[in-house]
A = this chain, B = another copy of it.
Amino acid sequence: MTRAQLAASTGLARSTVAARVDVLMRLGLVTPYGDARSTGGRPPSLLAVNPAARVVLGVDLGATHARAAIADLSGELLAEERADLEIAEGPDVVLAWVETVAHRLLEQAQRPITDLAAIGVGLPGPVEHSTGRAINPPIMPGWDRYDVPAHVQQAFPVPVLIDNDVNIMALGEQHAQFPTARDLVFIKASTGIGAGIIAGGELQRGAQGTAGDVGHIRVGRPSDALCRCGNIGCLEAVAAGPAIARALQAAGKPVRDTADLVRQVRAGDVDAIQAVRQAGRDLGDVLAMVVNFINPSVVVVGGALASTGEHFVAGIREVVYQRSLPLATEHLRIVTSVTGERSGVLGAAAMAIGHVLSPEAIEQASLELTS
């Protein structure tokens, strides 16, 4: 766009647009782009966002894996690395891995460390986003209330944003697949079941940061399955991987764990397929409520159970379309994750990019320019 087009489309004064464009150009975030068609006199300059101006680091830390990537400001991954790494090794070991890999990825992407503008990190447990600390995380010994940003900033003095894994996966799916969706729910169904909620274009964390905790909502069909939370009939107690595996075991079927269950479904085992489809229906029962309540345009289903193919999602759709209001499902898409194992790292990068391009960060950067 030209400055005049920006003024017309934003309603801002031309002098305001000129001043703001000047700041963005000095920060390298906006660059001239060819020439607009002249309307007589000097041709007005076309401007474009410059995604190559800076890079961010996205880090996805799971229970037993770690993934990191350098991305440009459009979210495109420039270099990426994955490792088997136990989060239970504790912050010193895991964050040392992050630091080493970050330097290696910057080198691969041929970008100096001064190009790094921010870092986003996903952790496999409850996180206090405002302080970047995990709070009472069940599977993360040594991480409780550990100051992750302060540790990372010793090596990289840039803003560091932390969130839980399901929230960053929701961001990753939105950025990579549904950039115009303002209301999106991401469901991770694996050894546990959790949701990331984007409503009104913003990730919603709730008053205590527990928003999206759908694993302990009671399913519709009568169930006396005891849940680790102490209640009975929770979604996680009937439809997560371990619950399905236990039910198959009880019926005399040898299924070791969630990964084994996924293998058996993919191999075409009828009992395993039926069990996963029923788990889809149970999840659908909860999602029908979610769809009525928050009215998303997209529900993305990810996690190990989503990788079993269409059986799981078919069960979900069956119940959601039966139980949700027609107006809420008229344009609703229920899809499996396309980014798969990359959704976390894409979302962590997206969280960092969102910060770099925020009005507050740009105002701060422009102050640093002039001082």
Contact = CB atoms under 8 A, between A and B. Distances in A.
Contact of A293 (B182, B200, B211): B211
Nearest to A182: B207
Contacts of A292: 210, 213-214, 216-217
A144 to B, nearest CB: 14
A213 to B, nearest CB: 5
A208 interface: yes
B210 A325 contact: yes
A254 interface: no
Contacts of A229: 325
A186 to B, nearest CB: 13
Most buried by B among A126, A231, A293, A297: A293
B11 A364 contact: yes
Interface string A324-335: 110110111000
Interface string A261-272: 000000000000
Interface in A184-218: 195, 197, 199-200, 202, 204-214, 216-218
26 contacts: A11-B364, A12-B363, A13-B370, A126-B327, A181-B207, A182-B207, A183-B207, A199-B200, A199-B204, A199-B211, A200-B204, A200-B205, A205-B295, A207-B295, A207-B297, A207-B331, A210-B328, A213-B295, A213-B325, A214-B292, A216-B325, A217-B288, A217-B289, A217-B292, A218-B285, A231-B322
B330 A295 contact: no
B295 A206 contact: yes
A352 interface: no
Most buried by B among A11, A12, A292, A331: A292
A213 B211 CA distance: 19
A132 B357 CA distance: 32
A367 interface: yes
Interface in A294-308: 294-297
A220 interface: yes
Contact of A367 (B13, B294, B322, B370): B13
A286 interface: yes
A290 interface: yes
A183 B210 contact: no
Contacts of A222: 222
A84 interface: no
Interface in A38-70: none
Given A217-B292, A218-B220, 17 more contacts: A11-B360, A11-B367, A13-B370, A182-B207, A197-B199, A200-B200, A200-B202, A207-B331, A208-B330, A208-B331, A210-B295, A211-B295, A217-B289, A217-B293, A220-B220, A286-B289, A289-B289
A246 interface: no
Contact of A363 (B11, B195, B210, B363): B11
A229 B209 CA distance: 34
Contacts of A289: 217-218, 286, 289, 293
A323 interface: yes
Most buried by B among A195, A213, A363, A364: A213
Contact of A290 (B197, B293, B296): B293
A208 B328 contact: yes
A207 B298 CA distance: 9
A293 B295 CA distance: 13
